[in-house]
Structure 1
Amino acid sequence: MTISHLLDELIHSTYYRDQVAWIERLPERAAQYAEPKQPLHPTLTSILEALDIRQLYTHQTMALDAVRAGGHVVIVTSTASGKTLCYNIPVLETILEHPGTRALYLFPTKALAQDQLKGLLRYREALPDLPLLAGTYDGDTPPNTRRKLRDEGNIILTNPDMLHQGIIPNHTRWGEFFSSLKYVVIDEIHAYRGIFGSNVANVIRRLTRICRHYGANPQFICCSATIANPQELAENLTGVPLTTITGDHDGSPKGPKSFVLWNPPHLDDSMVERRAANSDARDLMVELIRRRFPTIAFVRTRNGAELLYRYCQEGLQHHSPSLARSIRAYRSGYLPEERREIERQLFEGELLGVTSTSALELGIDVGSLSASLMVGYPGTISSTWQQAGRAGRGTEESLAILIAHNTPIDQYLMQNPKYFFGESPENAVIDPSNPYIVLGHLRCAARELPIGVEDETLFGEYAPAVLDILQESGQVRPLNGKWYWTGGGYPASDVSLRNINDNTYTIVDTTGDENQVIGSIDEIGAFTQTHTEAVYLHDAETYFVDNLDLAQRIAYIRKADVDYYTQSITEANIRVDQEEVQRKWNKTGVHFGDVTVTTTVYMFRKIKFGSRDSIGYGNLDLPPQDLQTNAVWLVPPLGTLKKVKEAGRLPVEGMLAIANVITEVIPLFSMCDVVDIGGTVDSSNTGVPTLFVYDKYPGGLGFAQKVYDIMEQVVEGCWTLIHACRCEGGCPSCVGSPVPIYVQHGPDTEIKGRIPDKEAALVILHDLLGKEPYIPKPVTHPRVSMVEVAALPEAPKREVKPLPESVELRIRQRVQGLKKK
């Protein structure tokens, strides 16, 4: 049976209820080849021919020519287009011509580095005399292997975390490697966004300093999936100008693909609620596995992967116990050996299905998959194409199905397929100059090498001010125009690249005779997912949390056979600390500045597996958490609010409706996840219902600043989504924004899960956008308001840009905390 026949059968099956909103038929594409300006090295030509590579695609040739010319390059082509050859060919060619050449390959995960090593070793298998010593250098590498790679390896594959904590701080042991470093390859750069990308950009700046110290000036070769600003992102990451090779020059062949937008059916004639996306995903995955089509299903969170795994196992058990054993879950939190075994089983065809978080979105070779299911919009168009591309890697026919949640952005895509299948409008946002992030990396850099005035510019405009604070605390001292480290400890251990929260909790399983550590979680996750009496999911097993020890930062759990899971409930207040900028847009005030969001996890609900019925609640006694961050806030004109009141409606309800929509619309314009930003409505700061959008990270990461710059486009997007919805008075697909199954926490959660006033929102949006006044439908029932959330040689001259007062205070507090470590 072919994919096309299977899709036809699904559409004509008994449980089909018009779920297919759109089918995009992506045609087969023939390969396009080109010859490089200079022939390849003869030995390399022989190796490639042995691997059945006799011609280069056009984008591979362009990349090779650009690297040969000595430039920094970023390659942006589709999934499975052969981007790996774009850097392997010039690196291997240079090693053949100059055997002392070294290269550093950087991948966002250990698993991807290990997978890419397999590809490199195939070159040596084709030519055993190839002067290649390559290996992964990470936390799992044995000490003897580390030493050999450090002293003799010419290609080191690693991840940003190991580069940050294990390699750069010990650069004196790596002197020969760094002095011969010719290439730095950064693969999957689209993964480096938000807090992770901002941290990695600072790690690269530290690497650049070390290379200069040893007399090297390596070329950067970057690869990315399709995003709107690949050159900007790559240059922000590396700090150097790059040449971009875009998808317009992608010469790789593609097999035919059917890309389906699948919208679960309404539950009743009210046309409000829809069937859960997980339920449709289970039915589709069970059907695909029954027909022996290898399938991957992507979900948003660990919990989601475990839930779908559990549901599919139950569904397959009815057909065949062996089929039930042919599916696994894959996510972070599993032990490394468990993940590698799942990867091996997939690659060798032992598994027919896997439910995964985005951990398998990147280019790990998992063999030939026929179908990719995406349960809910992944958050960016780039990620969606990456996940869809995991099926049909090669020229065979494949299937991709995006299964919509009943949330605004998912329903927008169902109603506007041309938007999705058109161009990618999102940007990847990082903020390398964020003083909270720079603080940690300046401490690391000072310990690695004295920081000169010329080095300060590498770390952004606030670096001099942060260094002055470090001097006052006794952690650095100036001498001959340079800053020397005088603090103690190992600063790199104080900086976590992937989570700015310093507090990490250990998850301990007490089921057996001996306690066993099965994972770790940050403090926010601990409060929301492993609080006392929570149900924690791991490898499709349910665990009951007996106690969350806040002093020891340990969650004690035990296996428990329960038929429900838990979801935390939070409340939040927001306070404006300092306004930095403001502007008038039409009659509306748009402001940006520092705010404090205080969050309290005060309750949890118990939710039945399958039906998702709420079967009980529990109270929690957890301390509140303060988040000092950046926000943009929109203050509607009094005249706009008056028009809403004159229509017999409550302005706060209209603003709440917009708040529900805006955090779902922002990812269309700025590459961030819905968990990176919060939206709420508050009147305590301005006296009127005011919409706040804030970054969910200390000090901010640029998302709120981006919204401040493009507020008009974002508000227009909100209007488009709400106006296009065919419901009468508001529904979960527009202003209602139910809390999806994968949402575990968030200060803005309390404004979701309800239906605010769609008509009031349209009155406000029409007025804000200067459109023709909107005449709302007559009020048929009263709107209910909710409670609003409330004597040496003269040193070179330095220019020190002062930090904002509130930021400086918090930086000083953090410095004192680090000093005590």
Structure 2
Amino acid sequence: MDHLEQTDVDPRAVLEHLSRGARADRLVHVRTVPAREGRVVPWPTWCAPTVTAALHGEGIHTLWEHQGTVAELAHAGRHVVVATGTASGKSLGYLLPVLTALSEGTGAVTGRGATALYLAPTKALGADQEARLHTLAVPGVRVARLDGDTPGEERRWIREHAHYVLTNPDLLHHTLLPGHERWAPFLRALRYVVVDECHVYGGVFGAHVSAVLRRLLRVAARYGAEPTVILASATVAAPDELASALVGQEVTAVTADASPRRERVVALWDPGRTDDGRRRGTATETADLLADLVGAGVQTVAFARSRVGVEHVAARAREALEARAASCSGSAAPQVAGYRGGYLPEERRALESSLRDRTVMGLAATSGLELGIDIAGLDAVVIAGWPGTRASFWQQVGRAGRRGASSLAVLVASDDPLDSYLLQHPELVFDEPVENCVLDPENPYVLGPHLAAAAAELPLTPEDARWFGPGLAGLAEQLMVGGILRARPTGWYWARPDRASDHVALRGVGQTVQIVDGRSGRVLGTVDEARALSTVHEGAVYVHQGEPHVVTELDLDASVALVVAGDPGWSTRARSESTFVIRETSVVQPWGAATLASGRVEVTTQVTSFQRVLSDGTVIGTHPLDLPSRTLVTQAVWWTLPLEELALAGVGEAGVPGALHAAEHASIGMLPLLATCDRWDIGGVSTALHPDTGLPTVMVYDGYPGGAGFSRRAFTEAAEWLTATRDLIGSCGCTDGCPGCVQSPKCGNGNEPLDKRGAIAVLDHLLSERTVVVPAR
């Protein structure tokens, strides 16, 4: 294909170019998302003249219908969530009422005027908002960004003078709320709280953020403020339920996207196989597609799932383009850049500028780019592996075609059970609604520490159940027994000399282990303690930015893993043993001779050894490890089948462990089809005879203390979940099981034993039992 000008890009012609020759069989499915006309509404009469003038000066003269609806609801003081597509202009919907209130000082009871808080999940997103607001320059509205890098003197000025403070939940939790007395004038005048990208706040992280938001609203009420909360989200199912769970109050949802959209062509792509029959790597295929697209003048972003993946994609695409340029009499190669976490603000701004002027034609980025940088106007998107949810998929697809042009998006399937299944069932990508964002704001493992933090801010009373739910009194009593709170006639008080908020980590559970270069002392990265036991134990090979390192020491007391750079010629794989105890069975559903159940379990895991593995998969050594076991109390779903039923299915007693193990792996891989999770957020255990059930049992559990809602969704959607699992295994073309069906990258037993055919037989029998009528007793 000849080099194309920006206005000439035809996504169908581009796709035809990509799928020629040897790649012809890699294009599995193509779907066209049709164009859509926009719907406008009149500019609100209540908008402050200074705000209207600033926006008109930026060329914004009309509102899309959903923007107007959000603005009107928020102006009327109603909590609202807007959940519309990428580039639909969600921010304008909340900026109109917020900036109007700040400009006019509406609701102010002090001389400083009305105030507002903007909360973003990343510093980068807050920086983008700050840049936009400074560009608007609404007279009289003082905007400031407050994060962990803000100097003390600047923080003091922000407390005393800023109207619109851009921050994040972490700073609220660690700084503003514990020191709320110093923020009293600001909180007294608080009119709006904006929670951007709220779809990020699912699972345990969402439960933490929910507790922080409720603590904020409680403290604001202490100063006489009742701020209106405006939430913005990517498209999710039931956004009103998500938003209400976050703030603990009724929230109105606006979901009808009235912005215009040009046509999008979306393709599903199988990477194919190498000459020796092995499956091509997802990152390698993505890099090749990126190079081809950029070489044809198609400005493209390629999303990879890890920092290492980003570096690999960018480097390989760059090498391919440079090689082609050298073969064409030394002409300059189009520029390809990488983007991932850790970039400085000035680096981000320079990259944005290079994308806008098309100096950079290709970009490899982590999915965090969705929340951190304005990459409007690209021609195409390549996605390396299913991003986990339909919401994330469409969010990434929407990053192209934002200047009114048609666009192309290509999903390159990874070597994962869910990706394999989606290639065979494209209707699940295109015709199903986006997922629910699941969180449990009353998870006691999360809420308990936040109640302690709330008590340190203001004494807890039974009336605070309006903020924290009906379980408040019981949790407060438990905290009192543990010496964390003390009871007085006026409520429960923080009983310790240290800071309560320091005992809560919003973005993780447990300690974080730093990975340190033993020679230079440089911190290479971090990993949570649970994963440290299997990834940075002594002797493990740790890869940083494509460079291998060997772990020489893991000091859990100091939370440090020391490494030395060097490639030993092999990788390592940890082996572990897991057991589970059923503490409480919440609900049981008989399926004929089978039983499906959900409840609370205690999972104990111990890493016992590690293997040295060559690149071709050959194990050249197994080495014992002496590491502590880890116990997790969480929520789980499990099913049982008696041995005689397994025999009827054709699975003899000797084959039961492998059949159950394979079924467990595949079901873990398929759960993200239904729940908003990644396979790394969940775990599983299978056993041929469990002491608590007395039967062969397969269990899948949430990988977070107290649970995250994933297994509950699995229980309620069990028939669909297990049917999809069985179909995936049965339709996979391998003979004995592969990473596309029953092998797992996180298996503690090295994927042994596994019986693919046995898993199919077991799941067939399990699903047939669901149709058996159980006699009444």
CA contact (8 A) 1:407 1:732 kept: no
Measured in 2, the distance between the counterparts of 1:375 and 1:689 equals 37
| Change over 3 Å in CA distance of 1:83–1:563 after alignment to 2 | farther
* 2:378 equivalent to 1:369: yes
1:16-415 alignment runs, 5 A limit: 16-36=23-43, 38=45, 40-98=47-105, 100-124=113-137, 130-246=139-255, 249-266=256-273, 274-319=279-324, 326-332=335-341, 346=355, 349-362=358-371, 364-415=373-424
* 2:635 equivalent to 1:630: yes
The superposition leaves residues 318-346 of structure 1 with CA deviations (integer Å, 9 ceiling, x where unpaired) of 34599889444444466777667666655
CA contact (8 A) 2:173 2:212 kept: yes
The superposition leaves residues 721-746 of structure 1 with CA deviations (integer Å, 9 ceiling, x where unpaired) of 445x2648664476x3333xxx5x46
* 2:561 equivalent to 1:555: yes
Counterpart pick for 1:660 among 655, 662, 665? 665
1:578-589 alignment runs, 5 A limit: 578-589=584-595
Aligned AA for 1:584? P
Tell me what 1:574 maps to: 580
CA contact (8 A) 2:659 2:755 kept: no
Measured in 1, the distance between the counterparts of 2:565 and 2:651 equals 57
The superposition leaves residues 464-503 of structure 1 with CA deviations (integer Å, 9 ceiling, x where unpaired) of 22211222233322222411222121111111111012x1
Tell me what 1:537 maps to: 543
Name whichever of 528-537 and 672-681 sits farther off.
Answer: 528-537
CA contact (8 A) 1:380 1:426 kept: yes
Secondary structure of the 1:374 match is strand
CA contact (8 A) 1:187 1:223 kept: yes
CA contact (8 A) 2:288 2:316 kept: no
Tell me what 2:528 maps to: 522
| Change over 3 Å in CA distance of 1:652–1:532 after alignment to 2 | closer
1:448-459 alignment runs, 5 A limit: 448-459=457-468
The superposition leaves residues 416-467 of structure 1 with CA deviations (integer Å, 9 ceiling, x where unpaired) of 2122111325211111111111121011111101111111353234332221
The superposition leaves residues 389-426 of structure 1 with CA deviations (integer Å, 9 ceiling, x where unpaired) of 22222312322111112322112211121221113252
Tell me what 2:110 maps to: none
The structural deviation recorded for 1:695 is: 0.8
CA contact (8 A) 2:591 2:771 kept: no
Counterpart pick for 2:514 among 495, 506, 513? 506
Measured in 2, the distance between the counterparts of 1:372 and 1:565 equals 32
Tell me what 1:592 maps to: 598
CA contact (8 A) 1:312 1:324 kept: no
The superposition leaves residues 277-300 of structure 1 with CA deviations (integer Å, 9 ceiling, x where unpaired) of 223112112222333433322223
Measured in 2, the distance between the counterparts of 1:155 and 1:36 equals 23
Measured in 1, the distance between the counterparts of 2:395 and 2:229 equals 23
CA contact (8 A) 2:287 2:317 kept: yes
| Change over 3 Å in CA distance of 1:647–1:691 after alignment to 2 | closer
CA contact (8 A) 2:36 2:261 kept: yes
The superposition leaves residues 190-227 of structure 1 with CA deviations (integer Å, 9 ceiling, x where unpaired) of 10001100100011111111011000011111111111
Give the TM-score normalised by structure 1.
Answer: 0.85
Measured in 1, the distance between the counterparts of 2:743 and 2:226 equals 52
Secondary structure of the 2:598 match is strand
CA contact (8 A) 1:135 1:149 kept: yes
Counterpart pick for 2:678 among 673, 676, 683? 673
Secondary structure of the 1:16 match is helix
Secondary structure of the 1:597 match is strand
Aligned AA for 2:143? A
Unaligned 5+ runs, structure 2: 107-112
The structural deviation recorded for 1:561 is: 5.6
Tell me what 1:490 maps to: 499
The structural deviation recorded for 1:653 is: 4.1
| Change over 3 Å in CA distance of 1:52–1:242 after alignment to 2 | same
Secondary structure of the 1:67 match is helix
Measured in 2, the distance between the counterparts of 1:6 and 1:52 equals 33
CA contact (8 A) 1:630 1:699 kept: yes
CA contact (8 A) 1:678 1:746 kept: no
Tell me what 1:819 maps to: none
Name whichever of 35-44 and 284-293 sits farther off.
Answer: 35-44
The structural deviation recorded for 1:754 is: 7.1
CA contact (8 A) 1:333 1:520 kept: no
Unaligned 5+ runs, structure 1: 773-821
The superposition leaves residues 629-662 of structure 1 with CA deviations (integer Å, 9 ceiling, x where unpaired) of 2212111255532311379994444433332222
- How many residues in Structure 1 have an aligned counterpart in Structure 2? 752
The structural deviation recorded for 1:564 is: 5.9
CA contact (8 A) 1:678 1:748 kept: no
Tell me what 1:640 maps to: 645
The superposition leaves residues 760-800 of structure 1 with CA deviations (integer Å, 9 ceiling, x where unpaired) of 1353244233299xxxxxxxxxxxxxxxxxxxxxxxxxxxx
Measured in 2, the distance between the counterparts of 1:344 and 1:556 equals 39
* 2:693 equivalent to 1:684: no
The superposition leaves residues 571-608 of structure 1 with CA deviations (integer Å, 9 ceiling, x where unpaired) of 32223233343232344222223322222334445667
| Change over 3 Å in CA distance of 1:571–1:267 after alignment to 2 | farther
Name whichever of 142-151 and 309-318 sits farther off.
Answer: 309-318
Measured in 2, the distance between the counterparts of 1:238 and 1:749 equals 43
C-alpha RMSD over aligned residues = 3.0
Measured in 1, the distance between the counterparts of 2:755 and 2:281 equals 17
The superposition leaves residues 83-109 of structure 1 with CA deviations (integer Å, 9 ceiling, x where unpaired) of 010111111122222261111111111
CA contact (8 A) 1:640 1:767 kept: no
* 2:483 equivalent to 1:474: yes
Measured in 2, the distance between the counterparts of 1:49 and 1:227 equals 31
Give the TM-score normalised by structure 2.
Answer: 0.89
Identity of aligned residues (%): 36
Tell me what 2:109 maps to: none
Secondary structure of the 1:30 match is coil
The structural deviation recorded for 1:749 is: 6.8
CA contact (8 A) 2:667 2:721 kept: yes
CA contact (8 A) 1:310 1:540 kept: no
Measured in 2, the distance between the counterparts of 1:758 and 1:478 equals 55
Measured in 2, the distance between the counterparts of 1:323 and 1:603 equals 51
Measured in 2, the distance between the counterparts of 1:206 and 1:377 equals 36
Measured in 2, the distance between the counterparts of 1:217 and 1:649 equals 65
Secondary structure of the 2:437 match is coil
Counterpart pick for 1:619 among 609, 623, 627? 623
CA contact (8 A) 2:116 2:191 kept: yes
Aligned AA for 1:694? Y
